[in-house]
Amino acid sequence: MSAKQVEQIAFRMFLNPGCEQEYQARHDALWPELGALLKAAGVSDYSIFLDAQNHVLFATLKRRHDHTMDALPAHPLMQRWWRHMADLMRTHADGSPVVEAMPCLFHLE
């Protein structure tokens, strides 16, 4: 797949203090069907990093230009994952994580 067929995005989320180990454990045991759902939506190369001092999760992922990520919030499996993770992080009333997009200011390939 050429670079023109994918885009890289970055965003941050907010972890509740003291929840680092449990967050890691739940992602280490990521449900296979959730991984398959993300890949089917065009997501790849997804990483989440922790700024432990500020309890900020920094995420990057690549997605195909024909991705269907916008449909993921309505998927029952995604909603179930959000409920599973809600006690560990800042969320909206619907259980979705608070996400702040981060624009790319520089990229070297």
Tens-place pLDDT, residues 4-61: 699 999 999 999 999 999 999 999 999 999 999 999 999 999 999 999 999 999 999 9
pTM: 0.91
Asked whether residue 2 carries a pLDDT value surpassing 60, the answer given is no
CATH of domain 3-102: 3.30.70.100
27 assigned to active site? yes
Q: What is the pLDDT of residue 3?
A: 54
- Residue 50 dihedral angles phi and psi, to the nearest 5°: -115, 130
Asked whether residue 1 carries a pLDDT value surpassing 90, the answer given is no
Q: Token pair for residue 17? A: 């203090």
Q: How many CA atoms lie within 13 A of 14 on its CB side?
A: 9
Residue 66 one-letter amino acid: D
As a whole number, mean pLDDT of residues 87-96 equals 96
* Annotated catalytic residue, options 27, 65, 84, 92: 27
| Secondary structure (H, E, C), the chain | CCHHHEEEEEEEEEECCCCHHHHHHHHHCCCHHHHHHHHHCCEEEEEEEEECCCCEEEEEEEEECCCCHHHHHHCHHHHHHHHHHHHHECECCCCCECCEEECCCCCCC
